[in-house]
Amino acid sequence: MSSNYSNVVGGKLKLKGSVPLTPSHDLKKKKKKKSSSSSSSLKREEKKRHQEEQELEDHESNNTNNNEKEEKIYTESELRHRKLQARIEEKRIKEMIKMSHKEKVEDFNKKLNQLSEHHDVPKVGPG
């Protein structure tokens, strides 16, 4: 029986790229430094708040600049076209808002009732 296992290599599997753990590696672990002063954390928070405020201001100024840039980029005919499309979109939205779902269903049912029986779905099968 031992002859069957004579060519097998014993020991742990070695993974590619891994550093072998030896006692010297365990002793050299570095400890993380903890900041004991609360003033440094307050300074960090203050910096974050200041950066966020600046980003908001920059974003607002960019929006106004973008509107000015849009007007400069497009020709007169393109601007007229965009305004016309906006008006058409507003009209379409007003039409959609005009009737509630319930009113739309009632209107649809009225139209179906006015149709002749020719359009009815025939019954097929027993029952």
Structure confidence by residue, pLDDT tens digits, 26-66: 556 677 776 555 666 677 778 888 888 888 888 777 766 66
Angle, CA of 108, 109 and 115, to the nearest 5°: 95
| pLDDT (0 to 100) of residue 32 | 74
105 CA to centre of own chain: 35
Spell 53-65 as b/e; 16+ CB within 10 A means b: eeeeeeeeeeeee
Whether pTM > 0.95 for this model: the answer is: no
| pLDDT (0 to 100) of residue 112 | 86
Q: What is the DSSP string of 13-39?
A: ---TTPPPP-HHHHHTPPPPPPP--HH
Domain boundaries, the chain: 41-112
Structure confidence by residue, pLDDT tens digits, 78-110: 999 999 999 999 999 998 888 889 999 999 999
